[in-house]
Structure 1
Amino acid sequence: MWEQAYTPVGGHLAASAACALVPVGAFVYLLAVRRVKGQWAALIALALALMLAVAVWRMPPAMALAAAGFGIAYGLWPIGAVVLAAVFLFHLVDQSGHMAGIRASIGRMTADRRLQALLVAYGFGGFLEGVAGFGTPEAIAAALLVGMGFRPLLAAGLCLVANTAPVAWATVGIPIAAAAQMTGLDPQAISRAAGLLVMPLSLIVPFVLVAVVDGWRGVRETWPAAVAAGGTFALVQMVTASRGMYELPSVLAPLASMAALAGVVLAAERRGRMLSAGVGASVSARGLAAYAVAAVGACGGGMPPRRREPEKDGGRGEPLPAAQLLRAWSPFLLLIAAVGAWSLPPVQAMWARAAVAVPVPGLHERVWVMPPAASAPMPLPAVYVFNGLGAAATAVFLAAVAAKPLLRVSWRTYFSAGRQTLRKLGPSLVTISLLLGVAYLARYAGLSATLGVWLAETGPLFPLVSPVLGWLGVLATGSNTSSNVLFAPLQQVVAQSIGVDPALLVAANAAGGAVGKMISPQSLAIVCAVVGLAGKEAELFRFALRYSAVFLAVVCGLAFGYA
């Protein structure tokens, strides 16, 4: 048995907290400043965490290695598995040639550039975040906009800002699931709180995108479309986030948003007039637009260069047969059906009976902790649960298997998509697994608890800065999942110390990470490479930073208000 200590450095809490920050600080420095590859930075962070746990916190070496191994195992399954499955499904559609059908179905709806930005960057990009993630949404959506005639820098900026709305849940709810696993909280409670924090941003973002493309005039002329896109997105996002389907907000909300936007566009074009004509585009439109755009500040400046061009001459694609369009979208429809079925409580209860729970040797109930407000130490459980049938990864893999005959691809193409997925995600999976090792070790060794006790001294003001931790985590790692893994336990400990709902602050971490995604070095590098702007990351960063900062202020205010 071993009991955690929270002031191991000479009994000084601040000095102990500074030592606890070393692994994460080193990771941030190596990644963001020294530009070390993620997997090597994570490996160095894990090595530092092991040394501190053993030498400073006096954790037995065998326990420290067991805690790190526990985290690495969880990083491989279920988190790594579901990422592999989702990206494999996307690559399968891409290599089958049916991605062209998806592009055509979007481009065919309207020739108005402002509405194309909403359809592609906000709707389709959000959907890609829900089924693939890891840079795929920004890359594919930006390339699609450039193909429709958007300036590369404008296309890149639009996609980065638009990606704010779905990132808190990202690929089939992985960030929420990771936060729940790290804290032991109900993932549904975290998801519900995240919905309350992110929903206002989902309402605002469409207005911001239209203003970036065409300024205030664009907002006045297309506000019904922005209301339809943002309102539907936010409503479906909130319902799925709070009603037992935390895996689906970033999948269903973008699809519903695209459908609502398409309905408004088609109805307006059938009448042969501008969207704003005949729907009260006067005082009410100006008021609605002012509220939305003022919330993000200086939005009228747009994307450099600051000339105000009416982006309304996008070309349409050639019409495709309905059967071809249905075949192109069928894998993603299968994904929605599979993940939705797997999330049903009766199905989950059935799969849970087949799960295998393995207590971690040398760690399970061997570490004793003193929780906030507790009167005596208590053992910390360490059980690895392998739920092979009930994991979301299994549902996504089954969707990918069922998609093969629908896409009519050969086995050669099928396995080629698998190899491409492994090549692309291999380093990312290593990074995620190692970071989980750092996080689990910090939890069991007491590093996270030390930081939590120190931060708890800020008292009731902590919820005001709680989202900043998630923002910094995504800025450093490029992944909301990694940010939650690093900071969710710390958010939980502080919340318990100051008497705030832990699910709220863990959700604040995810929401802060969502608004930090647009300025992470990985996102900037990926989108610039795709649109041919390599070397101009700094210009894109300056544009995205102001939106990220104002969105972060909104989330901080909401978190503080709810707390």
Structure 2
Amino acid sequence: MFIQDLEPVADSLALSALVATLPLVTVLVLLGAVRMRAHRAGLTGLAVAAAVAWLAYGMPVVQTASAAAQGVLFGLFPIMWIVVNALWVYRMTVRTQHFDILRRSFGRLSDDPRIQALVIAFCFGALLEALAGFGAPVAISAVMLVALGFEPVKAAVVALVANTAPVAFGAMGTPVVTLAQVTGLPLDSVASVVGRQTPLLALVVPLVLVFLVDGRRGLRETWVPALVCGAAFAAAQFAASNYVSAQLADIGAALAGAAALMALPGARRPAAEPVRAAVLTGVRSEDLDIEDPRREVVRAYAPYGLIVAVFSLAQIPPVKDFLAGATQVFDWPLLDVEGPDGEPVGANVFTLPLVSTGGTLVLLAGVGTAAMIGVRPRPAVREWLGTVYELRFAILTVTSVLALAYVMNLSGQAAVIGHYVAAAGAGLAFLSPVLGWFGVAVSGSDTSANALFGALQVTAARQSGLSPDLLAAANSSGGVLGKMISPQNLTIACAAVGLAGKEGDLLRKVLPWSIGLLLVMCLIVVLQSTAVLGWMLP
């Protein structure tokens, strides 16, 4: 048995935390300064994490390797299982040209690139996040924007920044569900507080997007549509997370934001030619003016409607219980770890949701999609295998980074960092979102960051007299802002727009926005911990 030690380095929490940050610093430096490919940076960071676990934290080599293997499996299933199947649906629509029809349909909603960014990256991207998450929204939104004439780097940056407000409720509420499970707090109370934080972010992000697309002119000329879209999104996300269902929060928000935007007369007004010429610096697809038959337009939207239907059906209690019956739970081999309190850690037992996981539901929807849009079984299988091959480096990045996260978590490195941050006392409300942001920046998953630090946030909150619900929610809400700088999301964005190997360049462009929005979230949480905004909490 391995028992985690909170002060393994010179009996000092500060020195132990400093050593524990080495794997994370390694990955970020290799990406941002050295410009190393993300999968290589992830593997290097994993090697550093394993060395720290073994040499500094005293974790046996066999248990370190077992922890890494569990992270690899979690990266493959369910995370990349969702991404592969979601992008498989996309590839099939590309094969049958229904994706082009969908793209032209979005293009006809407005020819103003700033509005297109809101419709595609913010609203449609949020719908994709609600259904699949884990990189699919960034990849598909970025591809659409490039086809509309956006320069590839700008398309990638817009897609990454837009993928923030919906993340906490993404993949049918997986992050908040996980947060409730690891903290022992009621799902309704956790989701309710998150639903009173991320909607405030949703008010800001559309304004940032139009600024990214067209600078100050874009903000000056389209701030009203951006604000209306963000307000409708925020209101729907708040209402659904507090009074309906956390699993359906992003679906309602995405549809409400798009509907409000398209109902605004100014949003459909043609853009001035100088705006289009200045913003659309890439190569615009020549087929955007083709009129498509209504029947084919319906078939182009059908895959996403089918995904919504499948996920909605899976939330019906009897169906949900039936699907959960296939879940496998078993003891993870060669792993016997106790926390500093002497309690066994959850990773000793592994849960494998074979059917109820989002990836399997997307796979079922993909089979239906193939039938609806006319893809025969053999080509459909080839497209699935082609998707795996296309994502091979992204898969390697995700699995290596999650292996790193699991080694850090099980060896005690993550707990030491968390306890050091928790020692901030009165400053804990400010640092709480930072911890979630840090976790997502490394793992690429708000779900993983909640699993890593959720319980720690609750413990620290109770020790300091703050609301456990507030700090648990802050972990998830702050985490959404780390997603745009996570190695796997950067890799997926670069692959989608043809910038493979340019992850470091993209990181430098989105990092200031990630930090800036994080500071906004930190301020929100601090004020919610006081009488100023304390009335917002349920």
Using structure 2 for the length normalisation, give the TM-score: 0.80
Q: Does 1:420 align with 2:386?
A: yes
Asked if structure 1 preserves the Cα contact closer than 8 Å seen for 2:120 and 2:141, the reply is: yes
Asked if structure 2 preserves the Cα contact closer than 8 Å seen for 1:117 and 1:210, the reply is: yes
Output the amino acid matched with 1:327.
Answer: R
Structure 2 counterparts to residues 486-501 of structure 1, below 5 A: 491=457, 494-495=460-461, 497-501=463-467
Output the amino acid matched with 1:458.
Answer: A
Q: Does 1:200 align with 2:171?
A: no
Output the amino acid matched with 2:424.
Answer: T
Q: Does 1:369 align with 2:340?
A: yes
How far apart in 1 are the matches of 2:350 and 2:185? 16
Output the amino acid matched with 1:400.
Answer: G
Aligned to 2:536: none
How many residue pairs match? The answer is: 519
Question: Share of identical aligned residues, percent?
Answer: 37
How far apart in 1 are the matches of 2:476 and 2:371? 37
Output the amino acid matched with 1:71.
Answer: G
Higher radius of gyration, 1 or 2 = 1
> Which of 369, 373, 376 lines up with 1:403 in the alignment?
369
How far apart in 2 are the matches of 1:64 and 1:172? 32
Aligned to 1:119: 119
How far apart in 2 are the matches of 1:478 and 1:306? 33
Aligned to 2:355: 389
Q: Does 1:97 align with 2:69?
A: no
Asked if structure 2 preserves the Cα contact closer than 8 Å seen for 1:4 and 1:367, the reply is: yes
Aligned to 1:456: 422
Q: Does 1:88 align with 2:88?
A: yes
Deviation at 1:551, TM superposition (A): 1.6
* Structure 2 residue matching 1:385: 3-state secondary structure: strand
* Structure 1 residue matching 2:26: 3-state secondary structure: helix
Deviation at 1:188, TM superposition (A): 6.0
1:252/1:490 Cα in 2 relative to 1: closer, same or farther (>3 Å)?
same
How far apart in 2 are the matches of 1:538 and 1:432? 16
Structure 2 counterparts to residues 154-169 of structure 1, below 5 A: 155=155, 157-169=157-169
Output the amino acid matched with 1:331.
Answer: P
Farther-moved stretch of structure 1 (121-130 vs 9-18): 121-130
Aligned to 2:42: 42
How far apart in 1 are the matches of 2:434 and 2:345? 28
How far apart in 1 are the matches of 2:158 and 2:510? 9
* Structure 1 residue matching 2:58: 3-state secondary structure: coil
Aligned to 1:350: 322
Q: Does 1:440 align with 2:406?
A: yes
Deviation at 1:407, TM superposition (A): 0.9
Q: Does 1:327 align with 2:299?
A: yes
Aligned to 2:331: 359
How far apart in 2 are the matches of 1:436 and 1:537? 18
1:21/1:144 Cα in 2 relative to 1: closer, same or farther (>3 Å)?
closer
Aligned to 1:3: 3
Structure 2 counterparts to residues 267-278 of structure 1, below 5 A: none
* Structure 1 residue matching 2:167: 3-state secondary structure: coil
How far apart in 2 are the matches of 1:3 and 1:348? 37
Aligned to 1:253: 253
String of CA shifts for 1:239-283, please: whole Å, max 9, x gaps. Answer: 4444675444444422332233223349x87xxx899xxxxxxxx
How far apart in 1 are the matches of 2:153 and 2:96? 29
Output the amino acid matched with 2:200.
Answer: P
How far apart in 2 are the matches of 1:165 and 1:498? 28
* Structure 2 residue matching 1:201: 3-state secondary structure: helix
Output the amino acid matched with 2:402.
Answer: L
1:535/1:403 Cα in 2 relative to 1: closer, same or farther (>3 Å)?
closer
Asked if structure 1 preserves the Cα contact closer than 8 Å seen for 2:35 and 2:502, the reply is: no
How far apart in 1 are the matches of 2:487 and 2:72? 24
- Structural RMSD (CA): 4.0
1:239/1:140 Cα in 2 relative to 1: closer, same or farther (>3 Å)?
same
1:344/1:192 Cα in 2 relative to 1: closer, same or farther (>3 Å)?
farther
Output the amino acid matched with 2:474.
Answer: A
Aligned to 1:380: 345
In structure 1, runs of 5+ residues without a counterpart are 276-302, 371-376
Output the amino acid matched with 1:441.
Answer: V
Deviation at 1:140, TM superposition (A): 4.3
String of CA shifts for 1:511-535, please: whole Å, max 9, x gaps. Answer: 3343344456776676677668899
1:401/1:115 Cα in 2 relative to 1: closer, same or farther (>3 Å)?
same
Asked if structure 1 preserves the Cα contact closer than 8 Å seen for 2:405 and 2:443, the reply is: no
Asked if structure 1 preserves the Cα contact closer than 8 Å seen for 2:440 and 2:482, the reply is: yes
Asked if structure 2 preserves the Cα contact closer than 8 Å seen for 1:148 and 1:315, the reply is: no
1:247/1:450 Cα in 2 relative to 1: closer, same or farther (>3 Å)?
same
Deviation at 1:357, TM superposition (A): 1.8
In structure 2, runs of 5+ residues without a counterpart are 530-538
Output the amino acid matched with 1:360.
Answer: W
Deviation at 1:98, TM superposition (A): 0.5
* Structure 1 residue matching 2:121: 3-state secondary structure: helix
